[in-house]
Amino acid sequence: MSGTHTGNPVAARVRRLEERLVAAGQVTDAELDAVLTSVLDGASPLNGARIVARAWSDAGFRERLLADANAALPEVGLSMAGGLQEQRLKVVANTPERHNVLVCTLCSCYPVALLGPSPSWYKSEAYRSRVVREPRAVLAEFGLDIPDGREITVWDSSAESRYMVLPQRPPGTEELTEDRLAELVTREGLIGTAAL
C-alpha cells in the first residue's frame, strides 16, 4: 500500500499506522495489499445491481430484502460477512413519495462488497456535511431534481450498519430479464444520487 494521502487525514493516519506495522516487522506491504485485494475481490456495483434486479422481478424477495437484508442476501449468493463481524445492511426503497440518499458523516462507511469502492465525492467533507443539511440542493448538483412534495431521507452509515438504496424500477422495463434489469442499475442509483 504505497503512496501518500496528503489530501485525506484519515488515509494519512492509516498509512502512518501501516508504516509503523511494517517497520516493526509485524506485517509487510505485500501482506497489507493481499488483505485489501481479498476485501475488494468480487466487490462491485454489479452485486448491488443483481440485488435490485431480483427485487424488481420478485415481490417476495423484495419484501424479505426490505424486512431483513442480511437474511435475504444469501438468496442471491451474497452476504455482509467479511470483516471481524457481519455488518448490518438495511435496504431502503425509493417511492414516488420518498427519495433516499446515503452518507457517512463520520468517515466513509459504505457497503463495498455490494457497491464496489466508494466514489471520491462520497468521502469528501463537502458531500458528508452538506447532504445532511441540504440534500435537495446537493442532489440537484448531481443533476437529480427532487420535486418539493417528495420527501428526502438521508441515511447515515456507521461502522456497524450500512445502507443501500433500492431505486424505483424504470417504466417500460416489465419485459426485461433480471440480467437486463441489472444493466440499468448504477452505483449512483444505489447511493441515491441518481435516478434510473
Catalytic annotation present for 124: no
CA–CA distance, 107 with 2 (Å, rounded to integer): 21
- Residues 102, 128 contacting (CB under 8 angstroms): no
Catalytic annotation present for 118: no
Neighbours of 187 (CB within 10 A): 20
Neighbours of 2 (CB within 10 A): 9
Residue 153 phi/psi, 5-degree rounding, is: -115, 130
Catalytic annotation present for 108: yes
The catalytic residue among 2, 57, 104, 129 is 104
Which residues 6+ apart lie within 8 Å of 30 measured at CB?
A: none
The catalytic residue among 44, 79, 109, 157 is 109
C-alpha cell of 74? 444469501
The catalytic residue among 38, 107, 120, 129 is 107
The catalytic residue among 108, 120, 124, 157 is 108
Report long-range pairs for 124-130 (Cβ below 8 Å, ≥24 apart): 127/103, 128/103, 128/104, 129/105
Catalytic annotation present for 104: yes
- Residues 48, 166 contacting (CB under 8 angstroms): no
Three-point CA angle 174, 164, 121, nearest 5°:
115
Active-site annotation, residues: 104, 107-109
